[in-house]
Amino acid sequence: MTTVAFIGLGIMGVPMASNLVRAGFDVVGYNKSEAAVQRLVANGGRGAGSVAEAVTEADVIITMLPDSPDVEQVALGEDGVLVHAKPGALYLDMSSIRPDVSARVGEEGRARGIRVLDAPVSGGEQGAIEASLSVMVGGAAEDFEAARPVLDAVAGTVVHVGPSGSGQTVKAANQLIVAGTIELVAEAIVFLEAYGVDTEAAVKVLAGGLAGNRILDRKASGMLAREFAPGFRIDLHHKDMGIVLAAAREAGVVLPLGAIVAQLVAAVRAQGHGSLDHSALLKGVEQLSGRPTA
């Protein structure tokens, strides 16, 4: 049985690790919060008390962490993944971080005989629960093929997109599109409500036409009900928009609409809504429109 160490058991991590258990993998989880580890244990996994304990005997190591500094600490730290992983192990960082950090982790991993892939995901909490995530993978093609059984257990779409760092570049583009789409759906909802339209009926017909998109399918009902329990927090999307704008500037690419959306995300976060789901961009539209917010 393949042993998988899973580090980072948050909103996405617990269901992903649990799906690996259901797929027949021996999953050892570690998280700073012991309660999160116990949720995995209740689903059939095993708990570890440290990164070292989790990864030492693992064939595959997965990290699912909030930001680039977290990955740098856990992967590159003096008591981190690359120090304790056995030679030949596969290391999949499924966090959403800066492409340059992923490239550096990949380079240092290869120097230690560890096969490293950056494999960020899209699909949110529901996709993690359903094992229907989309995974964009950077790294060596042969390492990607070796990782396919693990990736297929948590995702519906798995695509190799290039060398180390490429997965994170594609994820940055994904987050640009998602934020822009949420903002437009939010604006459309506030516009429709201002005219007293049956918004549920409107969303149904919009979703069936050229305006149809995953945000309408998965987020619109919660937006209409003003239910913003986090599947993906504003705080994290704010971080991701910073990544895409910095990467675009480095490449000399202009993102005029992306820059505006990044400012709208930042504004909603500054209003104290960073812990809400990114569909809470609706609150920003309401405020700008002078309409009452829930």
Task: Name the nearest CA neighbour of 101 among 7, 169, 12, 50.
Answer: 169
Query: Between β-strands 60-63 and 3-7, what pairing exists: parallel, antiparallel or unpaired?
Result: parallel
Residues 6+ apart with CB under 8 A from 69: none
- The answer to whether residue 86 is catalytic is no
Q: What token pair was written down for 130?
A: 């359903």
CA 193 to chain centre: 31
| Bridge partner residues of 6 (DSSP) | 29, 62
Q: Assign residue 136 a region (left: φ > 0; alpha: ψ between -120 and 50; beta: otherwise).
A: beta
- Amino acid type, 26: D
User: Which tokens go with 244?
Assistant: 């895409």
Q: What are 82-88's contacts with CB under 8 Å, separation 24+? A: 82/108, 82/109, 82/112, 82/114, 83/52, 84/51, 84/52, 84/55, 84/56, 85/55, 85/56, 85/58, 85/61, 85/112, 85/114, 86/56, 86/57, 86/58, 87/112, 87/113, 87/114, 88/113, 88/114, 88/115
Phi and psi, residue 112, nearest 5°:
-100, 5
Q: Any idea what DSSP says for residue 115?
A: E
Active-site pick, 86, 171, 204, 283? 171
Residues recognised as catalytic: 171
